[in-house]
Structure 1
Amino acid sequence: MPRVEIYTKAFCPFCSRALSLLGGKGVAYEEYDITMGGPKRAEMVERSGGRLTVPQIFVGGTHIGGSDDLAAAEQSGELDRLLAMS
Structure 2
Amino acid sequence: MPEITVYSNSWCPFCRRAKMLLDHKGARYTEIDVEKVSGARQEMNQRSGRTSVPQIFIDQLHVGGCDDLFALEQQGKLDPLLAG
TM-score when scaled to structure 2? 0.93
Residue 32 of structure 2 aligns to a residue in which SS? Answer: strand
Question: C-alpha separation between the residues in 2 aligned to 1:26 and 1:36?
Answer: 25
1:5-46 deviation digits (Å, cap 9, x = unpaired) = 000011100000000000011100000001246311111000
Partner of 1:38: 38
Q: Unaligned 5+ residue runs, structure 2?
A: none
Number of residue pairs matched? 84
Root mean square deviation, CA, Å: 1.1
Task: Among all aligned residue pairs of Structure 1 and Structure 2, give the percentage whose two residues are the same amino acid.
Answer: 51
Partner of 1:12: 12
TM-score when scaled to structure 1? 0.91
1:35-71 deviation digits (Å, cap 9, x = unpaired) = 24631111100000x2000000000110000000000
Residue 63 of structure 2 aligns to a residue in which SS? Answer: strand
Question: C-alpha separation between the residues in 2 aligned to 1:66 and 1:57?
Answer: 6
